[in-house]
Amino acid sequence: MRGQPGANILSSEPIMPFAYLALGSNLGDRFAQLAAAIRRLRAEPGIRVHAVSSFYATAPVDCPPGSGEFLNAVVAVETRRSPHDLLQWLLQIERQFGRQRGEPNAPRTLDLDLLLYDDNIITSEELTVPHPRMHERAFVLVPLAEIAPHVRHPRLQKTARELAEACPADGVRLASRPAAAAPLCLAGVRALVTGSTRGIGASIAEALAHQGAEVIRHGRHPVPGRHLVADLRDPGQVDRLANDAWDMLQGLDLLVCNAGADTLTGEAAHWSFEQKLHELLAVDVLATIRLTRLIGLRMKTNGHGCILTMGWDQAETGMEGDSGELFAAVKGAVMCFTRSLAKSLAPEVRVNCLAPGWIRTAWGETASDLWQERVRRETPLGIWGLPEDIAAAAVWLASPAAQFITGQTIRINGGAVRA
């Protein structure tokens, strides 16, 4: 989890109930509505998105005349919420997305239905599980069978695949995403993103490429595509990475120093304080300083460039526990260095620091109830940030829209005010 290390409490992965949710939209930008709704599900503490179906275009069923075509999907989640609490939360999200309930089955910006909750059978005034009409609706069964073909309807004792095969699906077809109409704000930009094989780094690399940038990814192990391998603990490999990336694209316009040592998960979570400090200093601090100075000076000579580093929103205010002490020292150093480097490289090169708050990466996916509630309590928006939120900030800072921004630390933390 970049940005919010736990104190000394290891993550736990309790077994949670599985629920299946149906999503639909036939008003406005339907693709954007469903994509945003899925991001909202992923950001909720105590909810873990397990699988997402493809999007399906479907003709309106039992809707008023003139209703537009729907876009539908199904999402599988693990949840700590009870079925009734989950329903109320889904209704709240519908309202946040502008859903207005009036005429039955009227066009809607977002429709969220609870289809199944483990093998529970519930009949109450406000909730019926399984959903009473799901077995009759191909626009539900087709995406459900895609992600969970063997899940069983607890009343009918038939699998999703069996129900889908028995339900006419002539009006359901796989939807094609419309081509982006907006101009690409980073067309032609040559970029290197360190630590970009997963998590925040992968999201940043994908977002930059989506906006037209030529992106070199980096990690410790080879992956397909335009990719360089380097162990940033080794100064010689840092130097080689700088040279190889520069040569690969005949120069760089953007450097994102995202790579950071993971001392929260896996074997490293059990290391001593001193081992963790050594690892964090080598990767997060020394490699960042070395790489940004090497490439930054070349950018300055070329007359332009942009560099982004990675901080932490609590580095300046502190957090209890070993991990808080470690990350405050390390990320605080990066944030201070960023401000000085911005002055050294100005006016040709802009240098800024991204400071994430509670971001749902690998650590956050398995964090205990204690940490899920802490996220909700400490973040005014009440949700996790996602890697895509950091990526969106990175795209903006790298774009011409941020041409007057340098030497700044941008906190992406859901409104948390640290004091």
Structure-token pair, residue 272: 């001593």
- Using a pLDDT cut of 90, give the percent of the chain over it: 75
Q: What angle do CA 225, 257, 334 make, to 5 degrees?
A: 165
CATH class of 190-412: alpha beta
Query: Which residue from 315, 309, 399 is spatially nearest to 354, judged by alpha carbons?
Result: 309
Give the amino acid at 194.
T
Question: Which pTM value belongs to this model?
Answer: 0.83
Q: What is the pLDDT of residue 7?
A: 36
- Which residues in the chain are classed under CATH 3.40.50.720? 190-412
Contact, 261 vs 284, CB < 8 A? yes
**Predicted pLDDT of residue 59:** 84
**How many residues are present in the chain?**
419
Q: How many CB atoms within 10 Å of residue 247?
A: 9
- For the stretch 42-69, pLDDT in tens is 999 989 999 999 999 988 776 666 667 8
- Dig out the tokens for 44 from the structure: 């909720």
Residues marked as catalytic: 99, 108, 111, 113
Q: What is the mean pLDDT of residues 112-120?
A: 97
pLDDT band at 362 (very low <50, low <70, confident <90, very high): confident
Asked whether the predicted pLDDT for residue 231 surpasses 90, the reply is yes
Average pLDDT over residues 255-279: 94
For residues 281 and 330, the answer to whether their CB atoms sit within 8 Å is: yes
For residue 1, is pLDDT > 70? no
Query: Where is 48: in which H helix or E strand?
Result: strand 47-52
Least confident interval from 99-113, 159-173, 265-279: 99-113
Provide mean pLDDT across the span 240-253. Answer: 97
Q: DSSP labels for 192-214?
A: EESS-SSHHHHHHHHHHHHTT-E
CATH 3.30.70.560 domain residues, the chain? 18-174
* pLDDT tops 70 at residue 385: yes
CATH 3.30.70.560 assigned to 18-174 = yes
